[in-house]
Copies of this chain bind each other. A is one copy, B any other.
């Protein structure tokens, strides 16, 4: 009644082979996501695209949602890498960082839909362990980058850098959710009543981000002047 494995794939015995297989599954999911941003494809499709059996997916991930979360995490860390590089560049300032980040994101627009669903993903079929690990790793990056920002804006309160990052990220995701027309509205976006939503997403986002970063810089400056260095929040 239970059928045996017919053509088992080459076995991933060593840890590095396992990481490779895991990565293959992630890549497969990511590739499917490109065609279907809503991610409404069965696990079997992911498996097929990765060249493994359905069950194998569950050897590397606890659930379908955990696969998707892992794809999201990968993309977020890539974004953080970009931010880190931008901040590390000589002469980096709010404007240059924002420009570089936006350029990256504009080339990875399939980042948004998944990111927008991240919160609800955590509410569904993601084990506490998995969610915790995800958040922990995220927190580490946030802390690291936050420190870099605090060094850039001396006087910014402790934690102010991370807060600025969170706010920026929030603005980015939130604004995309407002601005990106859903498929069913693509056609009617040209109507006059939709004018208000025909915004230049990247322009508006860039402006708002710069407002946020400038305000942080100004606050840092003010703090420096008055000698204080504590109290958090951007």
Binding site for B on A (CB under 8 A): 1, 37-38, 113, 116-120, 122-128, 131-132, 135-136, 139-140, 142-143, 146, 159, 162-163, 166-167, 169-180, 182-185, 187-188, 191, 193-197, 199-200, 203-204, 207-208, 211-212, 214-216, 233-234
Give the complex CA separation of A194 and B179 in angstroms. Answer: 31
Query: Are B166 and A175 in contact (CB-based, < 8 A)?
Result: yes
A-B contact pairs, 15 of them (CB 8 A): A38-B124, A113-B120, A117-B120, A123-B182, A132-B188, A136-B194, A139-B195, A162-B196, A163-B199, A167-B204, A169-B174, A170-B170, A170-B176, A174-B175, A200-B233
Extra pairs beyond A146-B196, A169-B174, A171-B171 (16, CB < 8 Å)? A116-B119, A123-B182, A128-B185, A132-B194, A135-B193, A139-B194, A162-B196, A166-B179, A167-B204, A170-B176, A170-B177, A174-B177, A204-B233, A211-B211, A211-B212, A211-B216
- Chain B residues whose C-beta falls within 8 Å of the C-beta of A143 in the assembled complex: 196
Give the complex CA separation of A87 and B178 in angstroms. Answer: 22
Query: Are B142 and A177 in contact (CB-based, < 8 A)?
Result: no
Query: Are A197 and B119 in contact (CB-based, < 8 A)?
Result: no
Give the complex CA separation of A142 and B215 in angstroms. Answer: 25
- Chain B residues whose C-beta falls within 8 Å of the C-beta of A122 in the assembled complex: 182, 184-185
- Chain B residues whose C-beta falls within 8 Å of the C-beta of A1 in the assembled complex: 125
Query: Are A120 and B125 in contact (CB-based, < 8 A)?
Result: no
A52 to chain B, nearest CB (A): 19
- Chain B residues whose C-beta falls within 8 Å of the C-beta of A116 in the assembled complex: 116, 119-120, 177
Give the complex CA separation of A163 and B116 in angstroms. Answer: 20
Give the complex CA separation of A233 and B41 in angstroms. Answer: 38
Query: Are B142 and A196 in contact (CB-based, < 8 A)?
Result: yes
Known contacts: A163-B204, A167-B208, A211-B234. The answer to whether A131 contacts B185 by CB under 8 A is yes
Closest to A143 in B: B196
A98 to chain B, nearest CB (A): 13
Query: Are A174 and B184 in contact (CB-based, < 8 A)?
Result: no
A133 to chain B, nearest CB (A): 10
Give the complex CA separation of A163 and B200 in angstroms. Answer: 10
Query: Are B184 and A175 in contact (CB-based, < 8 A)?
Result: no
